[in-house]
Amino acid sequence: MNVCKVICVRFKATGYKGRHKYEDGQKLCSICAEFLKCSEIRCPCCSVKLRCTPRGNQSRKEIHEKRKAVWH
């Protein structure tokens, strides 16, 4: 079971430039409910895979365009 162990406080992101936090390289942990600034794929606290794109369709398209990714 994935539970927040409050280790994520050390990686907590503060502030951002642009329209989305994801543009600045921040990632969201769905269990800890914190935006983290780390290069790992998984949360260092609860080992859940971090979200690196927004869930909204329009916002997701904007992020993919800025990253030059292919959107179908």
- Give the residue carrying structure tokens 């365009």: 65
What's the rounded mean pLDDT across residues 12-22? Answer: 85
pTM over 0.85: no
25-70: per-residue pLDDT in tens?
A: 899 999 999 999 999 999 999 999 999 989 888 888 888 888 876 6
29: helix, strand or coil: strand
Element spanning 57, H or E: helix 57-66
Domain residue ranges in the chain: 8-66
What's the rounded mean pLDDT across residues 8-28? Answer: 87
pLDDT band at 71, cuts 50/70/90? low
What's the rounded mean pLDDT across residues 11-34? Answer: 88
